[in-house]
Amino acid sequence: MIMISFAPLKQPYDRRFLSAGDHGIVINMDDLPTDHATKAARALAHAIRKIIADDNIKGIEDMIPGLTNLLVQYNPLVTSAASLIEEITPLLATLTNDEGAGRLIHIPCCYGGEFGPDLLEVATTLNMSTDEVVKRHQSNILDVAIMGFLPGLAYMKGVDEALYLPRRKTPRAHVPALSLGIAMDQTVVYPLPSPGGWNLIGRVPIPLFDAQKSDPILLRAGDRVSFYHIDNNEYNKIASDYRSGHFKVEINP
């Protein structure tokens, strides 16, 4: 197994910058509250992309926002950690909360029944009706904080605080693809069949990872997601229409 160490870079650089091997640096935001740190990491990535587009910075190959940091990977034959830090440091003072805000994506979901085997248990645990759980889940627009370990797996924060639950004590060995789960203040949709320990309350009829598309992953860090309720008949129709190319996901800038 390959291990990547994250260690402070030598002075005079701010302790905010950490080394990630010989072609990466991590800009650490964990002195901020988690939600602010997540937004700051995305905003910094957005600001860096702007200066890349203007050809004012070279050598960056990828940027991966985390919950409290931003990993910047670079070509060491083109630039260096020292050069990037000198170029990135001034951007830290210019970040705004709305910088890097992503698209608003509307996703249908069929709740309960075979698609949401934990919905009744969730409702009972929270002393609510199943209808109230569904209503509260749809009530907030969620933020895609980070992308996870499966292609297309998005961790979406901002679920109504009344639905706060831990993960299940015993994870399932198999969760069907497109199952929607909640835990803590987050929602996930499993893009592929996978083991999982989230509380499953529904399923979506459209793939979050579609290998047939030139851009196969639907959601990106920084996007906002609004779920809306559909019944079983609508679920089957949307799933069929998507496969035939007749259903388009509603995406607003």
Q: What share of the chain is helix, strand, coil (3-state, %, to 5)?
A: 25, 30, 45
Residues 233, 174, single domain; the answer is yes
Residues 126, 204, single domain; the answer is yes
- Within a domain: 136: yes
Residues 35, 156, single domain; the answer is no
List the structure tokens of 61: 């190959």
- Within a domain: 99: no
Residues 55, 115, single domain; the answer is no
pLDDT, one tens digit per residue, over 222-240 is 899 999 999 999 999 999 9
Give me the DSSP letters along 152-188. Answer: T-EEEE---GGG--PPPSS-EEEE-TTEEEEETTEEE
Q: Which amino acid is at 79?
A: T
Residues 116, 239, single domain; the answer is yes
State how far the Cα of 231 lies from the Cα of 216, in Å rounded to an integer.
26
Residues 10, 89, single domain; the answer is yes
Range of the domain at 73: 6-94
Residues 90, 126, single domain; the answer is no
Cβ count near 89 (within 10 Å): 14
Q: Which of 94, 122, 148 is the last residue of a domain?
A: 94
Q: Which amino acid is at 247?
A: F
pLDDT, one tens digit per residue, over 27-45 is 998 888 777 888 888 889 8
Q: What is the length of the chain?
A: 253
Q: Cis link prior to 12 (omega < 30° from 0)? A: yes
- Within a domain: 169: yes
Total number of domains constituting the chain: 2
pLDDT, one tens digit for every residue, the chain (253 residues): 334 344 444 444 466 899 998 899 999 988 887 778 888 888 898 889 888 988 888 999 999 888 889 999 999 999 999 999 999 999 988 887 555 567 999 999 999 999 999 999 999 999 999 999 999 999 999 999 888 889 999 999 999 999 999 999 999 999 999 999 999 999 999 999 999 999 999 999 999 999 989 989 999 888 999 999 999 999 999 999 999 999 999 999 8
Residues 138, 233, single domain; the answer is yes
Alpha helices per DSSP H over the chain: 34-53, 81-88, 119-125, 130-139, 232-243
Q: Would strands 104-111 and 224-229 be described as parallel, antiparallel, or unpaired?
A: parallel
- pTM attached to this predicted model: 0.78
Q: Which of 69, 94, 119 is the last residue of a domain?
A: 94
